[in-house]
A and B are shown apart, each in its own frame.
Chain A
């Protein structure tokens, strides 16, 4: 490893990790020294202990939340990308749909969740829908921006080669929009997690959101904390997966520039 690589590893990994460990140590020490009750602020050791005890039950709850999150995310792409295509290709669709999409975005999703549950009932589907509603806006807007970002000269060029509009879409506009799409998808995946948890808060009997809600009603703050940590880990892993997909599908973005 060269000197600069060592320095970068120090900055990227060692320093943030050391900061985290130091904060945890201070937290643990303060909890013990001031005898803070667990239901007010549990010590890290209590959180880990409780989480370990719940390890088997957590698998089921995590799976439900993951399933709802991924369902909402998949739906936001399945609906968001075609909507973006319609908006970019048809001025009529743009004037018809765009205000509605903005309107849908401006309604607080937490306010919709109880109504949705009323309509759709219990189960995972309403949570998937809430996750979708929270997540789809950045997918539509970013993909539409990307599709519209094709330089007009490139469209002229395609036309001068007498390529069909579909071929131009497939070979020029769609790949041009891919980095924009991923920018939206990265926001969407983290919003999906929020959407799923909000759905679970409103009414459910499983999922990490349910665990947090019921834990707090029994004053089991350490359990709520361990569920929260699991949620964060899930969100980070999902974000990482989308970033990885972006790197694999857009290798040109990471190529080194000449200057």
Chain B
């Protein structure tokens, strides 16, 4: 589904300094796989998502999605950000339909699927509300519905639950897993929460601080469907210790 080959991204800051955001990223993500990227802030996780989406060009290396070389945004992909970034002048339903409109499709034909998605995410009855009338968690659900409505086979999520409180966060994680199991799709999910990364993923990609490199890819050895109780599973503990060691040992090693 996604194939990154020796990807490097170098930014030039306003002062003219070169900053290496990510370096030598080689990774393959299979169809319908749920892969999480975890690492400390500033390790280029978000940059990597933008690179995969074709929103920014790579400095070196190549990215292929469904076999095609990525050089610009391509169809059949959904994007969710840390902030819901809804349109304040649109109702919940019209915000969900925004993706359809921007894709140049006919919104009227998607009203029913949009209503179904809102129901699936527990937002029935809120269709005609404005975003500011909703809580942060509900707003993020709307943003996820917006990304899901065109039914993309690839979903890129940049810390989508990062701005939510711990309880809402856990609830949303399980909800996302339910949606993912119901409508199979490939998900690349950036987070800085280690438990979240393990709970969701088939594989966890652990990244090092700037320049972001892949420290290791961990196969999560936990059955599906996942539940919150799995956090007490000894395998969960082993995984989270591994991730923690990879992130923190590198940090102390640095001069």
Contacts and interface: CB of A to CB of B under 8 A. Distances in A.
Give the most central of A153, A172, A175, A251: most B CB within 10 Å: A153
Contact of B87 (A167, A175, A257): A175
A72 B62 CA distance: 56
A256 interface: yes
A160 interface: yes
Given A252-B130, A258-B135, A160 B79 contact: yes
A160 B55 contact: yes
B222 interface: no
B73 interface: yes
B79 A157 contact: yes
Instruction: Give the secondary structure class of A's interface.
Output: helix
Nearest to B56: A156
B110 interface: no
A161 B83 contact: no
A195 to B, nearest CB: 31
Interface string B62-90: 00000000001111010101010101111
A153 B102 contact: no
Contact of A252 (B72, B99, B132, B134): B132
Interface residues of B, number: 30
A252 B88 contact: yes
B103 interface: yes
A171 B90 CA distance: 11
Contact of A161 (B87, B102, B135): B102
Given A159-B55, A175-B87, A256 B102 contact: no
A10 to B, nearest CB: 29
Nearest to B90: A252
Interface in A46-72: none
A159 B79 CA distance: 11
Nearest to B103: A161
B190 interface: no
A162 interface: yes
Contacts of B50: 156
Interface string B94-110: 00001101111000000
A151 B83 CA distance: 10
Contact of B73 (A159, A168, A251): A159
A158 B75 CA distance: 12
Given A151-B83, A255-B133, A258-B133, A160 B77 contact: yes
A12 interface: no
Contacts of A178: 89
Contacts of B130: 252, 255
Nearest to A151: B85
Interface of B: 50, 53-55, 72-75, 77, 79, 81, 83, 85, 87-90, 98-99, 101-104, 129-135
Given A158-B102, A162-B75, A252-B90, 9 more contacts: A151-B83, A156-B81, A157-B81, A159-B55, A252-B131, A255-B133, A257-B132, A257-B133, A258-B134
